[in-house]
Structure 1
Amino acid sequence: MTKQFNGIFRTWTRVQHARHGALPVLWGDCIVHLSHPEFSGNILHTSGIIDIIEHGGFKIAQTRNNYYALLGPELQIPPGDVVDLEAFILQHRSREPALDVYASAAMNADPGCINCGGAGVYRCGEDRLCVCDRCCKHNQGWWQLEGGYGADNGRWACKAGCGVVVDKQPPVLQFLPRTVA
């Protein structure tokens, strides 16, 4: 059986089995699940972690059957025997239900990108990821800068969060559906 890339977790934690020598279980906030889309957005676990590998701005967990991208930080389980893992992960879930740009960037990245190494994101701070401006497709639209943006007022910024700013509003993307009156 060939292992496939199967999902993306935002926040996650490793849980060691009580049985000595058993492989740990990965619990996390699954923002994208490819083989079972109905699991997307849920707190779920996958068993049998064989290895967790650092890959650019995120980590990849290898399990018995699949690979998973781990975008967010690894949560440390508080001491004690009685911990409700689902409630614990829910406490750390992003408060803002915005479109997850990191997942989109990882899925659309250029494999040969010299900026992010094909990850779509790169580490731009100790605990912060940035969307790669070379790989970004700018397909989530543009917003006009105003107010406290100073010299950039009146310019247009990519909504995906890659940091690209242009002088005039780009034309409407060709693949977006249009209404006909």
Structure 2
Amino acid sequence: MTVAYETAGAAVIIFWVVFRIARWAVADRIAAALAAAVTVALLTVLADSAITLMIVAVLAPFGAMLPILAGANILAKFGRPVDRFSTVEILLALIFVTLFLAASIGALPFDPYRFGYDPLPAGAVALALCLWALWRGHVTLALAAVLGQVMWMTDTGSTNYFDHVSHMLLVPVLAITLLLRLVGMLRPARPAPDKA
């Protein structure tokens, strides 16, 4: 089960990264086809290649949060309605995830990561995420929190709940999202075209 999930997580992340890069140069449908081809190639024909093994070694476990957010982002590019997080939520998430990861690798005197093995803190975090999601209307966040809890309880992927709801890639993703949001806010609005 873990191997199947990690492969699926890798597929979503690889597709998402290639798709986001490719759409700078080509139309969305072509970018999606290219992303699908690269993903299939890396996970089948090139499954034992150095690049595929490196991607999995560095990025696994993929957890629930990152693949769900990546999938939602892909769907949004094709016009599907998805959650829109506020700029303040993105900033708070960036600060929280950065501090959490820094503390987890020993850069801070407190280690919150160790609590992810304990049912009570893990359940409390899952409940807090679900309550926030309910209050703010974020279906993707609730889905990630619940799926992460199910995966953690069934020993799918990591045995630490925090691995399911956080990921090191969230730091650059949140930072870039925040930067693009702020640039969009600072950009002057285009005047409406004159109607003849």
TM-score by length of structure 2 reads: 0.23
Q: Which has the higher contact order (CA 8 A, sep 6+)?
A: 2
Who wins on radius of gyration, i.e. which is larger? 1
Q: Which structure: greater helix fraction?
A: 2
TM-score by length of structure 1 reads: 0.25
